[in-house]
Amino acid sequence: MSRIGKKPVGLPSGVTASVSGQTVEVKGPKGTRSFTATDDVTLAVEENAVTVTPRGKSKRAKQQWGMSRTQVQNLVTGVTDGFKKELEINGVGYRAAMQGNILKLNLGYSHDVDFVVPAGVTVTAPKPTIVIVEGSDQQQVGQVAAEIREWRKPEPYKGKGIKYVDEYIFRKEGKR
């Protein structure tokens, strides 16, 4: 029995949901998002809430039950609050700046790194050492943040590189 799947997904004021077949579409202040569930679950909208119920008692139906409910919850969170990842840049001379739709990263290479921001995601650099990635799609926000971090991962000796704000870098002691 899925503890997560049993709970209905509440719809806050200003958010509407519609189900057609296996697709649920959620509209809110930050846009429209949709999710197509597998045939193992049934989606329904009842009294400002979306409910997910399994079809049958198979193992796959139970697995899809909790996962589908979480996906619908992420749709509702995305169109109301949105998702946000913060990156911190550490290193002498390392910095970031936005120029239109391009994030310019100066990361110690012989050239600047130009990262083109995809549609659906907003990237800002309030300080030269802070990059904020925001959007309504959790997967896309995480993917863009991971691609930016990939240019210069934090190293364990001096901690130079791009890291998530809440990430802990295990520091090593160098040679003596």
Instruction: Output the pLDDT for position 18.
Output: 92
Are residues 76 and 24 located together in one domain of the fold? yes
Per the structure, the count of domains in the chain is 2
- 175 assigned to some structural domain: no
Q: What is the CATH number of the domain that holds 126?
A: 3.90.930.12
Are residues 7 and 67 located together in one domain of the fold? yes
Instruction: Output the pLDDT for position 2.
Output: 65
Please list, in sequence order, all residues whose beta carbon lies within 8 angstroms of the beta carbon of residue 161, skipping any fewer than 6 positions away.
89, 90, 91, 94, 152, 153, 154, 155
Instruction: Output the pLDDT for position 1.
Output: 60
Its domain, for residue 34, covers 3-80
pLDDT, tens digit only, all 176 positions of the chain = 668 888 999 999 999 999 999 999 999 999 899 999 999 999 999 889 999 999 989 999 988 999 999 999 999 999 999 999 999 999 999 999 999 999 999 999 999 999 999 999 999 999 999 999 999 999 999 999 999 999 999 999 998 999 999 999 999 998 88
- 113 assigned to some structural domain: yes
Residue that terminates a domain, selected from 80, 98, 126: 80
Instruction: Output the pLDDT for position 174.
Output: 86
> Whole-model pTM?
0.88
Q: How far is the C-alpha of 57 from the C-alpha of 89, rounded, in Å?
A: 49
Q: How far is the C-alpha of 77 from the C-alpha of 60, rounded, in Å?
A: 26
Spacing of C-alpha 107 from chain mean position: 24
Instruction: Tell me if residue 110 falls in helix, strand or coil.
Output: coil
